[in-house]
């Protein structure tokens, strides 16, 4: 692999009302479908050689709208499992347990019944590392906001508390210098055809 394209799925029905999804299988909103279609030309122009997607429907539908209906679905590319926080409104969590929520976003706290940040980061990184061994050119991964943060830490050592939530249907690109996964650099972050998004939902 010489280039990794990472797309966060389009806005889901729960993103629209700022509820945490984790492994819940929530559909795209109409706006999310429009967002994915708006990103399609950009991703198509980058001509990925192989496409993988989280097996959750919002990511699979985004891959299809980008023109990759045959993308390989992988459970290891799912979002961070937030356990008992699944379905909770983010403003409610912040009001009830603000420090815990902030610490979770920083990768320092495991939600009750959920997955630790280290487990999640390693899961996502291992999934992409395995895929990279099968691809000589460009790999496209369609997944989730947490997966973007996990891969940026896993491959670039950027701590999660230093990364804003990327926008829905946004594109982030990493380049492998010399094809080495230990020698990667950030080429593009949080690209959205409609302009920058600085307040995206988790």
- Is there a binding annotation on residue 19? no
Residue of 23, 34, 69, 79 marked active site: 79
- Is there a binding annotation on residue 3? no
- Is there a binding annotation on residue 11? yes
Task: Single out the residue of 59, 54, 164, 157 nearest to residue 105, CA to CA.
Answer: 164
- Is there a binding annotation on residue 180? no
Q: DSSP code of 27?
A: P
Task: Please give the full DSSP string across 107-161, using - where no structure is assigned.
Answer: T--PPTTS--HHHHHHHHHHHHHHHHTT-SSEEEEEE-HHHHHHHHHHHH---GG
- Is there a binding annotation on residue 72? no
Residue of 9, 23, 80, 144 marked active site: 9
State the helix-helix crossing angle for 117-132 and 145-156, rounded to 10 degrees: 80
**C-beta of residue 19 within 8 angstroms of C-beta of residue 177:** no
Tokens of 171: 């594109």
Q: DSSP code of 169?
A: T
- Is there a binding annotation on residue 149? no
State the helix-helix crossing angle for 30-45 and 57-65, rounded to 10 degrees: 50
Query: Active site includes 161?
Result: no
- Is there a binding annotation on residue 58? yes
Q: DSSP code of 7?
A: E
Query: Active site includes 119?
Result: no
Positions at the binding site: 8-15, 58
Q: Which sequence positions are flagged as catalytic?
A: 9, 79
Q: Binding site membership for substrate: which residues?
A: 8-15, 58
């Amino acid at each position: 692999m010489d280039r990794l394209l990472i797309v966060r799925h389009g806005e889901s029905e729960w993103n629209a009302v700022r509820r945490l999804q984790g492994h819940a299988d929530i559909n795209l909103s109409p706006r999310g479908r429009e967002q994915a279609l708006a990103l399609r030309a950009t991703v198509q122009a980058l001509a990925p050689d192989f496409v993988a997607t989280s097996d959750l429907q919002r990511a699979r539908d985004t891959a299809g709208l980008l023109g990759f209906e045959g993308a390989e679905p992988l459970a290891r590319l799912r979002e961070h499992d937030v356990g008992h926080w699944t379905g909770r409104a983010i403003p409610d969590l912040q009001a009830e347990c603000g420090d815990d929520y902030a610490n979770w976003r920083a990768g320092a706290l495991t939600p009750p019944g959920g997955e630790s940040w280290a487990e999640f980061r390693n899961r996502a990184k291992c999934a992409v590392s395995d895929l990279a061994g099968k691809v000589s050119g460009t790999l496209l991964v369609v997944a989730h906001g947490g997966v973007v943060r996990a891969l940026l830490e896993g491959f670039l050592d950027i701590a999660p508390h230093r990364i804003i939530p990327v926008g829905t249907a946004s594109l982030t690109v990493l380049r492998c210098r010399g094809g080495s996964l230990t020698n990667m650099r950030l080429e593009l972050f949080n690209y959205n055809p409609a302009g920058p998004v600085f307040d995206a939902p988790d």
